[in-house]
């Protein structure tokens, strides 16, 4: 078979960090080829090189069995390669049709021929089996629809190779199924798809071949029928990973959090309540109101105390813990030391007469860092010197060490690898079993299903429904995420 797109001994370094090292990949024409690996494995760097956004230090890109040099994205497009990034590059104030043809508009004399553009768009959508509201503004449609437009835009520019970077990150289950079906249809029509993802089940469902990257190197490339979920995770991580089975709370106590108003909810002691929803359904606003980052018209009580008007620090003193998925901007002070980050919120207990006691600070910080298996050199080092997973462990350790009455965990495993995810899940379960109440907000449906005792689903800023936690609720949650009634 023809190697439609590939890498031959490609290496790329950024200072002392080797993002790719001697990478060899062959993507056969007319196949779906998945590239998987943990954060920092080198997936994104490799894809940028294959599209022409970046240049290798050594090695070559291979197109149609021949080595080529891609000096930029225009060269990639010229060779029939299209990239659909995770952060979709669409202009929200333009219609879907305007976004589709932007920069390559059909013309009749000096004017844009919108009738021809509409005909072309409709015919292109029909060929790949989708229907789109071409007159709708991009801001007013779902991520799934915008993603379909991005794919059609690449096809319209002549791409027969599509590179998709984490394309299902913000989609509901039904939308994921639609996307995977679309990719299968493109493959069956003779096009080639490079599918970058960390979601093992989706990779197994759509890929013909799978390349595993670890530490910038290719570990293996195998046909999909030679791996299963467990073996693929082990190849990605390099060791066996144990995931705890779903188990609901054994003992649920009194209400700890009560929110009234547009999004009424409660969380009891010894309970994890998950919050699901397509991106932009109101999750961020709900979290910000509860932790005190946004004014709230709703009444909020914590352990029977009205905290509606209290500032963040007073809420924390009342027993609130907060894990933010935006660890670099909210969870940590990146230029402050690990010690300062570890003691934040508990620093008032570590001083005398307004002065911090260095011995107490050091002991407290080491207890947090060592107790949550943070890999670090010196506690005086800045937080930015740690990897993303270790930064998240600092946040997790700091918040859980205080044994909060209520923990608001928003995206607690965002940007964390498979091993780190398993570790964090175990810590959250242990906190729940010790009597804390946890509100878990996550874009990862598997995470919500695995951890939550019950799940509240938001749609359009309101509660669309509530279902029990556990794997059996997947379809019900997915249906509610789309604003439909669960059967």
Query: Each residue of 373-401: pLDDT tens digit?
Result: 888 888 999 998 887 778 888 999 999 99
CATH classification (class only), 3-237: alpha beta
**pLDDT reading at 44 higher than 90:** no
pLDDT digits (tens, 9 = 90+) for 265-283: 999 999 999 999 987 889 9
**Mean pLDDT score of the chain:** 91
**pLDDT tops 70 at residue 35:** yes
The proportion of the chain whose per-residue pLDDT surpasses 70, expressed as a percent, equals 99
Q: pLDDT tens for residues 143-169?
A: 889 999 999 999 999 999 999 988 886
Chain segment 312-348, per-residue pLDDT in tens: 999 999 999 999 877 777 889 999 999 999 999 888 7
Query: Tokens standing for 34?
Result: 């998945």
Identify the bridge partners of residue 320 per DSSP, sorted by sequence position.
406
Instruction: Give the number of other CB atoms < 10 A from CB of residue 457.
Output: 28
pLDDT, position 249: 83
Count CA atoms within 13 Å of residue 39 on its CB side. Answer: 13
Highest mean pLDDT among 15-19, 229-233, 254-258: 254-258
Sequence-ordered list of residues with C-beta below 8 angstroms from that of 430, at least 6 positions apart, any chain: none
pLDDT at 170 over 70: no
- 385-389 contacts at long range (C-beta below 8 A, 24 or more positions apart): 386/338, 387/40, 388/39, 388/40, 388/327, 388/415, 388/416, 389/39, 389/415, 389/416, 389/417, 389/420
What whole-number distance in Å separates Cα of residue 419 and Cα of residue 393? 12
Q: Residue 191: left if φ>0, alpha if ψ -120 to 50, beta else—which one?
A: beta
Mean pLDDT lowest among 255-259, 291-295, 374-378 = 374-378
More confident residue, 166 or 405: 405
407 close to 438: Cβ distance less than 8 angstroms: yes
Residue 487 has pLDDT above 70, yes or no: no
Q: Which pLDDT belongs to residue 485?
A: 76
* Token code pair at residue 447: 């995470």
- Average pLDDT (44-67) is 94
d(CA 245, CA 242): 9
**Per-residue pLDDT at 482:** 86
- Residue range 130-144: mean pLDDT, rounded: 91
The proportion of the chain whose per-residue pLDDT surpasses 90, expressed as a percent, equals: 66
The domain limits of the chain are 3-237, 255-481
What's the token pair of residue 88? 């979709």
Regarding predicted confidence, which is higher, 213 or 262?
Answer: 213
Q: Comparing C-alpha atoms, which of 442, 171, 414 is closest to residue 286?
A: 442
What pLDDT, on the 0 to 100 scale, is given for residue 444?
Answer: 84
Q: Give the integer Cα–Cα distance in Å for 302 and 404.
A: 11
Q: What is the mean pLDDT of residues 114-127?
A: 94
Q: Does the structure show a pLDDT above 70 at 178?
A: yes
pLDDT at 486 over 80: no
d(CA 5, CA 194): 9
Question: Which are the contacts of 381, defined by CB distance < 8 A and separation ≥ 6?
Answer: 337, 338
Q: With 90 as the cut, is the pLDDT of residue 206 above it?
A: yes
The yes-or-no answer to whether 3-237 and 255-481 have a common fold is yes
CATH number of the domain at 255-481, please?
3.40.50.300
Select the more confidently predicted residue: 124 or 350. 124
Q: Which residue has the higher pLDDT, 460 or 9?
A: 9
Asked whether the predicted pLDDT for residue 358 surpasses 90, the reply is: no
pLDDT band at 54 (very low <50, low <70, confident <90, very high): very high
The pLDDT score that the predictor gives to residue 414 is 77
Query: What is the Cβ-side half-sphere exposure of residue 341, based on CA atoms within 13 angstroms?
Result: 30
For residue 203, the Cα-to-chain-centroid distance in whole angstroms is 15
Residue 173 in this model has a pLDDT that exceeds 80? no
| Least confident among 49-63, 89-103, 110-124, 243-257 | 243-257
SS3 (DSSP) at 389: helix
Q: List the one residue out of 384, 336, 385, 392 whose CA is nearest residue 361.
A: 336
Token digits for 453?
């005792």
Q: Rounded to an integer, what distance in angstroms lies between the CA atom of residue 209 and that of residue 221?
A: 7
223 has a pLDDT exceeding 90: yes
Is the confidence at residue 419, as pLDDT, over 80? no
């Amino acid at each position: 078979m023809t190697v439609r797109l590939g890498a031959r001994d490609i290496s790329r370094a950024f200072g002392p960090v080797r993002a790719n090292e001697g990478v060899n990949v062959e993507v056969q024409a007319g196949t779906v080829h998945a590239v998987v690996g943990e954060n920092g494995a080198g997936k994104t760097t490799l894809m940028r090189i294959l599209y022409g956004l970046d240049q290798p230090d050594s090695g070559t890109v291979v197109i149609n069995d021949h080595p080529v040099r891609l000096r930029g994205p225009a060269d990639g497009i010229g060779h029939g390669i299209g990239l659909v990034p995770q952060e979709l590059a669409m202009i929200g104030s333009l219609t879907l049709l305007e976004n589709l043809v932007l920069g390559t508009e059909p013309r009749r004399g000096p004017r844009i021929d919108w009738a021809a553009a509409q005909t072309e768009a409709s015919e292109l959508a029909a060929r790949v089996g989708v229907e789109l509201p071409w007159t709708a503004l991009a801001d007013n449609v779902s991520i799934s629809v915008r993603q379909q437009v991005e794919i059609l835009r690449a096809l319209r520019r002549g791409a027969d190779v599509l590179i998709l970077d984490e394309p299902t990150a913000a989609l509901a289950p039904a939308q994921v199924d639609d996307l995977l079906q679309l990719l299968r249809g493109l493959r069956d029509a003779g096009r080639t798809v490079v599918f970058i993802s960390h979601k093992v089940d989706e990779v197994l469902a759509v890929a013909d071949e799978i390349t595993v990257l670890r530490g910038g190197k290719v570990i293996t490339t195998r046909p999909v029928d030679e791996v299963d979920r467990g073996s693929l995770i082990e190849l990605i991580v390099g060791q066996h990973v144990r995931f705890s089975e779903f188990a609901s709370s054994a003992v649920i106590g009194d209400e700890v959090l009560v929110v009234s108003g547009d999004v009424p909810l409660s969380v009891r002691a010894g309970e994890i309540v998950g919050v699901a929803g397509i991106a932009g359904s109101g999750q961020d606003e709900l979290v910000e109101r509860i932790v005190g980052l946004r004014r709230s018209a709703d009444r909020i009580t914590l352990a029977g105390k009205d905290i509606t008007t209290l500032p963040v620090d007073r809420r924390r003193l009342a027993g609130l813990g907060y894990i933010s998925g935006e660890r670099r901007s909210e969870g940590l002070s990146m230029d402050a030391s690990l010690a300062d980050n570890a003691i934040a919120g508990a620093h008032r207990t570590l001083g005398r007469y307004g002065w911090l006691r260095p011995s107490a600070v050091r002991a407290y910080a080491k207890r947090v860092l060592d107790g949550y298996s943070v890999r670090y050199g010196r506690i005086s080092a800045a937080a930015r010197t740690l990897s993303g997973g270790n930064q998240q462990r600092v946040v997790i350790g700091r918040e859980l060490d205080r044994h909060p009455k209520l923990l608001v965990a928003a995206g607690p495993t965002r940007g964390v690898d498979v091993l780190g995810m398993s570790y964090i899940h175990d810590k959250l379960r242990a906190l729940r079993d010790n009597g804390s109440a946890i509100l878990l907000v996550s874009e990862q449906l598997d995470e919500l299903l695995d951890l939550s005792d019950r799940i509240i689903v938001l749609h359009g800023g309101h509660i669309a429904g509530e279902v029990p936690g556990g794997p059996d609720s997947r379809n019900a949650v997915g249906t509610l995420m789309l604003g439909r009634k669960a059967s």
